[in-house]
Structure 1
Amino acid sequence: MDAETSDDIMAATYRALCDHGFADLTMQDIADESSRSKAALHYHYDTKEKLLQAFLEHILDDFEDRLASETADPRDRLETFLEAVFGPTEDDRGDFPVALLEIKAQAPYHDAYRERLAAMDERMRETVADAVRDGVAASDFDDADPDDVARFVVTAINGAHTREVALGEDPSETRRLVESYLDRTLDPTPEMVA
């Protein structure tokens, strides 16, 4: 499939998930948001589950692009990471976090969903751990276990997602707490708070 078709289907899937949620989502809903017919969607993806697996892969690729940092500075890399996680997206639709949480809730029953979500979690932890490891090696950060810091930060981010959807809590509060944690853990003289 060409890039234009893929982009159209992924954008339509995003919009349909925002409008209908995971549980009520149909291939027709996605087709209605796309310039393609339902038959064309089935030509590229046999089932809704296959399409959603591709969508999760698309989200992971997009997230990878947002994490890309040109700088070697560990502090800047952590700031880029936090902005990728907590900053607004280009097409910020308020209902998408709900749909994503619904997909996460299906992970125990769908190996492919779990694998994609685990890959996203692993990529997040690697990004944080690598920045911490480099900062400790360069003596920019206090000695800290990079894997422990990464696990804590990513766990807080996952919790923030649930709190946003279930309780209506603004994720900026979690960002503030994560930045404070990083300051206390990595440097006794705070410089990380944006």
Structure 2
Amino acid sequence: MTKAERAQETRERILTAACEVIADIGFENISMRKVADHAGVSKALLHYHFDTREKLFAEAMTHSFAQTGTYAGDDGGTAPAAVVLARIVRSMLPTDEELRQDWKLWQELWVRAQRDTAARHLAVDLYDQLHAWVGGAVERGVASGEFTDCDTDAVATLILALSDGLGIRVMLDDPKVGLAAARSTLWRTVAPHLGIPPAFPES
């Protein structure tokens, strides 16, 4: 392993540890020492890669987004458009423990964005990427004839809004909105805009 590869591996380990610590105890309660200990590195090495908590938080959010976000629709263009969109919807809801951790990070970002300009810009940028990702899947379905012609930006906005609102209820363990109900509600709402069956694809 080269020096650059070792440095990259260390950086990835630190970011993974930061995501786990922030999700566990919240950004306001973390220290660089706690993240360093969790990553199994020295505090000096942590500071070499990230000199402030704020920079570490921003990088951790971007890392989390890259690791558990847009891969869901990457199938080489072979799956039906509805299946690709369903995979995206699954990844945008707290479907498993890894995605629940991502949701905790998003909730931390929402809180920080209310009082921190850099966090607000980061949140808007990540939402822009999500919007482009969802909108691209819808556009693909329209282009292939699998979806009816529609306002792809409006549909992408609707999907993001529904996933946020329903996902919060799932994260709260609201007995009225479980994961299956969240998926079916979102899909049933969006389906008429796309001209597809209202039942959420299970494949």
TM-score category, normalised to shorter length? 0.7 to 0.9
Please say if residues 129 and 149 of structure 1, whose CA atoms lie closer than 8 Å, have aligned partners that are also in contact: yes
Aligned-residue Cα RMSD (Å) equals 2.5
Residue type of the alignment partner of 2:86: E
Alignment of 1:14-163 (within 5 A): 14-62=19-67, 63-71=69-77, 73-86=80-93, 88=95, 92=98, 97-163=103-169
Give the total of aligned pairs: 193
Tell me: CA distance 1:46–1:70, structure 2 relative to 1, closer, same or farther (3 Å): same
What percentage of residue pairs aligned between the two structures are identical?
Answer: 23
How far the C-alpha of 1:108 sits from its partner, in A, is 2.9
Greater Cα shift, 75-84 or 26-35: 75-84
Task: State the one-letter code of the partner of 2:83.
Answer: D
Shift of 1:52: 0.6
Distance 1:175 1:9, change over 3 A: same
After the TM superposition, which of the residue ranges 104-113 and 152-161 deviates more from structure 2? 104-113
* Partner SS state of residue 141, structure 1: coil
Q: Return closer, same or farther for 1:16/1:190 CA change in 2, 3 Å cut-off.
A: closer
- Could you tell me which runs of 5 or more consecutive residues in structure 1 were left unpaired when the two chains were aligned: none
Distance 1:143 1:155, change over 3 A: same
Report SS of the residue matched to 2:29.
coil
Letter of the 2:126 counterpart: M
TM-score under structure 2 length normalisation: 0.81
Q: Secondary structure at the match of 1:140?
A: coil
SS at match of 1:92: helix
Distance 1:53 1:111 in 2: 12
1:181 and 2:189 aligned: yes
Letter of the aligned partner of 1:147 in structure 2? Answer: D
